[in-house]
Amino acid sequence: MREKDRLIEGNKNYVASIKNNETKTKLAKDLISHQSPYALVITCSDSRVIPEEIFSCSLGELFVIRTAGNSVNEGELASIEYGIEHLNIKYVLVLGHTHCGAVHAAMHNEKGRFLDPVLDKIHAAINCLEDEVEASKANALFQANYIKSLFPEFDGKIESALYDIETNEVIFIEN
């Protein structure tokens, strides 16, 4: 299968890129026994939104959760709990983005077999907003506040931001 071959080839290149780089080889070795990422990022599954690239991060730096429309549900909460309570991460960022398919779907009342609960949540976040950029911001802020409400004892920071896929810039949202 062509797609699988691309993945196999891609992994070969990745292995080689680590082997051929002393710093990366050492880092990868150091990270075998432990990880201590400095931030937890919840963002969309969108193929254009790659947190490690957006924030110029390497192995072990970000604990990333990706989900349709950066919507936080049960599975994501388990990952967040692990990140802040076991890995002791003190900074959580919900990163929405422009041209988000999930936000668009929620705004246009689209349906999906497993997507409905996710879209309902995004819908609650964006309410009657008609501008997609504003809706994506509101959704990111809403998800961040939702996490805050469920981890009231968390002594770090939970913030939201918007990634603009046209300029590649991240704009942090004031709470």
DSSP 17: H
Query: What is the spatial distance between Cα 72 and Cα 63, in angstroms, rounded to a whole number?
Result: 15
Q: Quick check: helix, strand or coil at residue 56?
A: coil
The distance of closest approach from Cβ of residue 43 to Zn ion in the complex, given in angstroms and rounded to an integer, is: 8
Q: Applying CB under 5 A, does 147 fall inside the site for Zn ion? A: no
- Tokens matching residue 93: 């960022």
CB contact at 8 A, 91 and 83? no
CB contact at 8 A, 109 and 59? no
The distance of closest approach from Cβ of residue 15 to Zn ion in the complex, given in angstroms and rounded to an integer, is: 30
The distance of closest approach from Cβ of residue 139 to Zn ion in the complex, given in angstroms and rounded to an integer, is: 9
Query: What is the spatial distance between Cα 163 and Cα 55, in angstroms, rounded to a whole number?
Result: 11
Quick one: which segment of 22-30, 92-100, 114-122, 138-146 binds Zn ion (CB under 5 A)? 92-100
The sign of the torsion formed by the CA atoms of 134, 136, 141, 143 equals positive
Closer of 46 and 61 to Zn ion (Cβ): 46
| x/- letters, 28..67, toward Zn ion (CB under 5 A) | ----------------x-x---------------------
Closer of 25 and 45 to Zn ion (Cβ): 45
The distance of closest approach from Cβ of residue 46 to Zn ion in the complex, given in angstroms and rounded to an integer, is: 4
Closer of 72 and 84 to Zn ion (Cβ): 72
Q: Quick check: helix, strand or coil at residue 121?
A: helix
**Closest to 147 in 3D by CA, of 96, 49, 78, 99:** 78
Q: Which of 100, 119, 141, 162: binder of Zn ion (CB under 5 A)?
A: 100
Residues found near Zn ion in the complex (CB under 5 A): 44, 46, 100, 102
